[in-house]
């Protein structure tokens, strides 16, 4: 199936769901713009993902996923992003095959105590942190609906090219889970392993030179709940590779 030209004009930006025809539950949420992207997921796709595995499971019993439009006629991509994220939050990322929560994570479904943790936290300059720490930016996978094990696993896995010196001599023994500059969890780093070697709630996709650590939650660490800011007073920015080090010495840059 595909949309006609007239249907596309009415759709504008839209948010859709892929539905299991057996239990009528949505298993994937996405957004699109006046096109047939909602149906592209149903084409033969060799990429290994939870979504594609679910589609194959449905087809093995002789059925096809249902495409449902959850909201359409949206005026901008920004609005579509917000609607998509809100629906993912309402269903719960753990109940979907989406890889991440979507955009606007911190404005989404959140416990009241998490609002206080994220937005009522005292700022501290990153340059004033003298204890060696690794910062892991987990904004794409962090959710207040996730359990502690899921947050732990999203913090400790799977990181590309972590420096050998920090794996071997463990100069850096503290891991900070960062969401929009706020330290949402603090863990000890006990040991590093090649990715996929330890038990996890997450699936490792087998790319080379990725690493994971094991450690323990430190609930009363002085940085827990603090907002890390730069010398300009603004929250520290997420790093493209997903992690960084404090203090920022030439060896760890």
Instruction: Please check the confidence at residue 68 and state whether its pLDDT lies above 90.
Output: yes
* Mean pLDDT to the nearest integer, 205-233: 91
Position 250 confidence tier, pLDDT thresholds 50, 70, 90: very low
Beta-sheet pairing, 227-229 with 123-125: parallel
110 vs 163, more confident: 163
Residue 216 contacts residue 187 (beta carbons within 8 Å): yes
pLDDT at res. 206: 77
List the 159-160 sheet strands across, edge first: 159-160, 210-214, 191-194
pLDDT at res. 44: 73
In the Cβ-directed half-sphere of 127, how many Cα atoms lie within 13 Å? 5
Position 252 confidence tier, pLDDT thresholds 50, 70, 90: very low
CA distance 243 to 61: 43
In the chain, the percentage of residues whose pLDDT exceeds 70 is: 88
Nearest-Å Rg of the Cα atoms of the chain is 21
Position 200 confidence tier, pLDDT thresholds 50, 70, 90: very high
Nearest to 110, CA basis, from 146, 148, 159: 146
CA distance 195 to 65: 33
CA distance 230 to 219: 24
CA distance 48 to 54: 11
Nearest to 29, CA basis, from 76, 73, 82: 82
Average pLDDT for the chain: 86
What pLDDT digit, counting tens, does each position of 186-195 carry?
999 999 999 9
pLDDT at res. 128: 93
The answer to whether the predicted template modeling score (pTM) of the entire model surpasses 0.75 is no
Question: What is the torsional sign of CA 176, 178, 183, 184?
Answer: negative
DSSP reduced 3-state for 109:
coil
Instruction: Please check the confidence at residue 139 and state whether its pLDDT lies above 90.
Output: no
């Amino acid at each position: 199936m595909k949309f006609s030209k007239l249907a596309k004009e009415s759709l504008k930006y839209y948010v859709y769901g892929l539905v299991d025809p057996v239990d009528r539950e949505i298993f994937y949420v996405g957004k699109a713009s006046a096109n047939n992207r909602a149906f592209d997921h149903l084409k033969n796709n060799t990429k290994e993902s939870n979504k594609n595995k679910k589609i194959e499971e449905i087809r093995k019993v002789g059925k096809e996923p249902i495409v449902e439009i959850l909201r359409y006629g949206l005026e901008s991509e920004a609005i579509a992003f917000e609607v998509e994220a809100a629906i993912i939050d309402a269903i719960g990322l753990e109940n979907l095959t989406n890889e991440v929560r979507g955009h606007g994570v911190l404005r989404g479904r959140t416990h009241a105590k998490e609002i206080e943790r994220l937005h009522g936290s005292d700022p501290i300059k990153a340059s004033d942190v003298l204890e060696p720490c690794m910062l892991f930016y987990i904004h794409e996978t962090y959710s207040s609906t996730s359990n502690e094990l899921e947050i732990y696993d999203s913090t400790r896995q799977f990181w590309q090219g972590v420096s050998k010196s920090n794996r071997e001599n463990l100069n850096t023994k503290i891991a900070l889970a960062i969401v929009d500059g706020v330290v949402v969890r603090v863990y000890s780093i006990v040991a590093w392993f090649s990715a996929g070697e330890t038990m996890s709630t997450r699936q490792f996709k087998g790319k080379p030179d990725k690493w994971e650590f094991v450690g323990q939650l430190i609930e009363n660490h002085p940085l827990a709940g603090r907002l890390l800011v730069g010398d300009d007073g603004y929250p520290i920015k997420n790093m493209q590779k997903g992690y960084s080090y404090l203090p920022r010495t030439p060896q760890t840059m």
